[in-house]
Structure 1
Amino acid sequence: MLCPFPPTVGSSSPWGPIQHLTPLGPDAVAVSTASHGGIRVSLTALARIPEPLHATAYSGAGWFEEDCDWAIPYLALGLDAFEPDAARAAEVWAAAVHTVRRYHPQHAAALGADGDAEGRPHG
């Protein structure tokens, strides 16, 4: 489902109508619905994500679900740089590394999740 970016409250997502949006940088937003959610990225941002990860069993077309796939755009796009402080950036980056290692281990190296997972943001 290709939709305009950024989405708006009330617009469609793979999980139903969007109830809440949280910007994660200029090309990504977290969306939540009554039942689920995830991350929506712009087409420009999607082009910066390794092609084999554009679609998974749960995600596609710039939508990345919140349980297994949110970490793909988070790491690929360096979204830790947009966190409000360094402590939160380190915490969420470490969680993203853990998530990728668990659900997408074959792509960990491409996402920078194959080294130190002590919560240190990349770059």
Structure 2
Amino acid sequence: MTSINAEYGTTSDGLMAARIDYLALIAIPNRDGQGYRVATALPGSKPICQWSASDALGSEGQIADEAGFRAHVEECLLHLRQREALGRTSIHQPVPSPWGPSQTATRYAEGIVCHETASHGGFHLDKARNAAMHPVLRLPAGWYEEDGDWARVAAAYPDIFTDREKRSADRILRDWLPDAWEAVHGRQLGRSESFTRDREGFARDHSADWIVISAARSPDHPGDVIGTATIGGQRANAPTRSFLIPGSEYAAGRHGFVIDTTRHLLLD
């Protein structure tokens, strides 16, 4: 039976909080009053009742209410329990890596080691492990950086990752390496399933439209925005035009703001 458990409480400033082993979480209300940001915290050994919003550091995502916060905490708890059960071990392996000398290393399985350096990190797979990967996932050198390429390793060897890690890896592949995801799973992704596929669809839909590539507040029309746009949102040596956009309407959007030439005033 694992010894990792969750402790819930309320901070000194009345915020929902929880501690799981070394992980401290605080629900910080959003400025618009809608929902909360789940923040990681560094409160040291203080009891939860002595924590405060000032202890908050990074962000773990958004939740709607107390039920959402508890669900998030329970997901983190399951992740840490599963990680403990996987039996990953710290090893001393001072090898050179693409990001500098390895300072610490964790063995996930035989032939699969995660290295940390002073500035970055990632996985190294030995020749046998790397050769066994699906060709669309494999990187020839066997090094997989921690920001995105690690998802290739998780897709190839899911049994050595937690459920939370596998969901994160799947999302990374869908959004940023959809060709690889489709080759592994044998089907095409829809626009709603992949950021890249949605961006490609947006580009097709608006290839002849003016798309804002930069924006600034208008000095002559308080509250409005001057949007500099190009056809299709192209950036390399593309002709530009400037349009006046109502400030209440302008939002960068998921892939860019589309100019309506019948309503947005051309300033050039």
**TM-score (ref. length: structure 2):** 0.34
In the alignment of these two chains, the number of paired residues is 99
Taking the aligned partners of 2:186 and 2:108, their CA distance within structure 1 comes to: 20
| Displaced runs of 4 or more, over 6 A | none
Change (3 A) 1:65 1:90: same
Q: Which has the higher strand share?
A: 2
Structure 1: how far apart are the matches of 2:181 and 2:169? 10
RMSD: 2.5
> Which stretches in structure 1 are left out of the alignment for 5+ residues?
1-6, 84-88, 116-123
**One-letter code aligned to 1:22:** T
**C-alpha spacing 1:101/1:113, structure 2 compared with 1 (3 Å):** farther
Aligned to 2:154: 74
1:26 is matched with which residue: 90, 99, 110? 110
Query: More helix by proportion, 1 or 2?
Result: 1
Alpha-carbon distance in structure 2 between the residues aligned to 1:94 and 1:9: 29
1:51 match: 135
Q: Please, which of 163, 183, 194 is the counterpart of residue 90 of structure 1?
A: 163
31-40 vs 95-104, which deviates more? 95-104
Equivalent in the alignment of 1:11: 95
Contact 2:122 2:145 in 1 (8 A): yes
TM-score, length of structure 1 as denominator length: 0.69
Instruction: Choose between structure 1 and 2 for higher RCO, CA contacts under 8 A separated by at least 6 residues.
Output: 1
**Aligned match of 1:121:** none
Give unmatched runs, 5+ long, in structure 2. 1-90, 190-268
Q: In structure 2, do the counterparts of structure 1 residues 48 and 34 end up closer, same or farther at CA, with 3 Å as the change threshold?
A: same
Kindly indicate whether the alpha-carbon contact (under 8 Å) linking 1:97 and 1:113 is maintained by their aligned counterparts in 2: no
Contact 1:8 1:18 in 2 (8 A): no
Larger radius of gyration: 2
